[in-house]
Amino acid sequence: MHKIKKLVILYFFITFLTLVSYFASAIEKSSDCKSFSCDKIALVVNDQVFTLRDLLNEENNLCIELEKKGVQKGQRNIRENAINRIIEKALIIQESNKKGIFVNNSELNSVIDNILIHNNINLDQMRLQVERDNISWDSYLEMLRCDIYKNYLCQHIMDEKRIIANSDIDIFLKKSKFVDKKYLEISNSKNNQVLSLAQILIKVPENASSEDIQGFYHKAESLRNKLLIGDNFSDIAKEFSDGPESSIGGFLGKKTLDFWPDLFIENINFLSEGQISEVFRSKKGFHILKIISIDFSNIEKAASSNNLEEQVYLKQILVKKSFATSASDAVIYLSHIRQAIVSESISFKDAAQHYSQDITAPQGGDIGWISTNSLVPEFRDAIKNLGDKKLTEVITSSEGYYLLKLCDKRIFDFTENKKRNYAYQCLFDLQVDPVFSNWLEFIKSKSQIDIKCL
């Protein structure tokens, strides 16, 4: 009997081990299956592959944005919109790289530093704020990098297509004769005033019922009431606005009055700086506008203020930082090049063309005229201490190791340049969105896009 008991116990123990092994195997297979499922190809944009995991992450980010804006689930098309966003981001970066545009970590960190300064917060606070919105820090950095790519690409496309000609700037400057007033007043001098606006837009779908439209209107009114009791316009725009400019606080740009829609002007007539409009309706939906600034003298200030600055004409040789080369080896290497230039064994131009790793190398390292105030501190200090010499010692910076040649100095009056730059920026802000949208649609039409997961 005792032996039978032992056999029975042994039988149940073996059965238990078998079941544990079976369930462990099943769980492992299930986990592997899930992992495999997430690694399935969801779409391909040219040669770039995106997995289901990438798509789910994009859908998650999109859901978070829509929830913050109060968009009802029935009005969403998450999968299609997420796929479209992945495609557009991929094409923006791919086309940027083809044009020689790359956003490195240094540029990304510089933008983050500006955001911290603008919002008066530190990096930990910024990171906490991002993660509080259920967006991972890595995802946020990816989105930010893509925004930088888009800005660079917009500038490149506008320059490449020569959208804004010198004659356009001349016309703008002739029209822009500013007068001094404390509030916006629509008069015969309509073209002579410059206005910065921000908006909150609550979109109304074309097929919306009258009940839904009323709901959108009440939402806009509730947001306006929040603003009236002191809520920050930029924060409300980022969280609730459906406009494409919501990520930058709803800022629409700075333009002369004749470049703003008449509907906008009608709804902000006689408002002061900092005031907000009533809720009003357009074909797109319900708008709330804020006057950021009424500036009647931006261009004329350029003529009246002190616009003299010191400029230097520079050439450079760059040896980039590398894991393969130590800092001391790079400095020694560049010091030898410097010695060869000083002894006239090689000209600076030839040395730059042969040894520089900067995009200016084919031009002999030619940077051109640049304001001393816009130089990084390392460059500014090196040039300041040159004395009668024309060639700096090796300069160490975050990018790598430099030799600079000071070719010339001058005091430059940039009054006209400042006026023209201001006019260019106004015209750029006005035209960039439709130009970029048309360009992106054209790039999409000629790209190889394979969507496997709709």
Same domain, 150 and 86: yes
Residue 447 lies in a domain: no
Residues 221 and 151 in one domain: no
pLDDT for 4 beyond 60: no
- Residue 37: per-residue pLDDT: 66
Does residue 276 share a domain with residue 197? yes
Say which CATH number the domain at 140 has. 1.10.4030.10
Contact 173, 423 (CB under 8 A): yes
Give the residue, 185 or 290, on which the prediction is more confident.
290
**Are both 359 and 261 inside the same structural domain?**
no
Residue 440 lies in a domain: no
pLDDT at 447 over 90: yes
**Based on the domain organization, do 271 and 345 belong to the same domain?**
no
Q: What is the pLDDT of residues 266-300, one digit of tens each?
A: 898 878 888 999 999 998 999 999 998 876 544 55
Count of domains observed in the chain: 4
pLDDT value at 391 more than 90: yes
In the chain, % of residues over pLDDT 70: 81
Element (H, E) at 369: strand 366-371
| Domain assignment of residue 89, yes or no | yes
With respect to residue 165, please indicate whether it lies within any of the assigned structural domains: no
Residue percentage of the chain with pLDDT more than 90: 31
Which domain range does residue 369 map to?
308-413
Q: Does residue 422 lie in a domain region?
A: no
pTM: 0.50
Question: Residue 385: what pLDDT?
Answer: 77
Read off the pLDDT of residues 285-341 as tens digits, 9 standing for 90 and up: 999 999 988 765 445 554 455 667 788 999 999 998 887 778 889 999 999 999 999
pLDDT tens figures, 123-141: 998 898 888 877 889 888 9
Q: Are residues 315 and 409 in the same domain?
A: yes
Q: Which of 264, 296, 328 is the last residue of a domain?
A: 296
pLDDT score at 13:
41
Q: What CATH number does residue 352 fall under?
A: 3.10.50.40
Question: 47-61, 117-131, 142-156, 407-421: which has the minimum mean pLDDT?
Answer: 407-421
Q: Provide the pLDDT for residue 352.
A: 94
pLDDT at 109: 87
What 279-284 contacts at long range (C-beta under 8 Å, 24+ apart), as own/partner pairs, is 279/217, 279/220, 279/221, 279/224, 281/204, 281/217, 284/201, 284/203, 284/204
pLDDT over threshold 80, residue 407: yes
Give the sign of the dihedral formed by CA 389, CA 394, CA 398, CA 400. Answer: positive
Q: Are 248 and 280 within one domain?
A: yes
CA-to-CA distance for 177 and 185, rounded, in angstroms? 15
Instruction: Specify whether 264 is located in the same domain as 338.
Output: no
pLDDT tops 90 at residue 261: no
Per-position DSSP letters for 401-428, written without gaps between them = EEEEEEEEEEEEE-HHHHHHHHHHHHHH
Of the residues 377, 393, 413, the one at which a domain ends: 413
Q: Is 348 a domain residue?
A: yes
Q: Are residues 319 and 408 in the same domain?
A: yes
User: Which of residues 100, 126, 160 is at a domain's end?
Assistant: 160
Task: Please compute the mean of the pLDDT values over residues 357-376 and round it to a whole number.
Answer: 89
Q: How confident is the model at residue 196 (pLDDT cuts 50, 70, 90)?
A: confident
Residues 186 and 288 in one domain: yes
* pLDDT over 90 at 238, yes or no: no
With 0-12 CB in 10 A as exposed, 13-18 as middle and 19+ as buried, what is 292?
buried
Instruction: Compute the mean pLDDT over every residue in the chain, rounded to the nearest whole number.
Output: 80
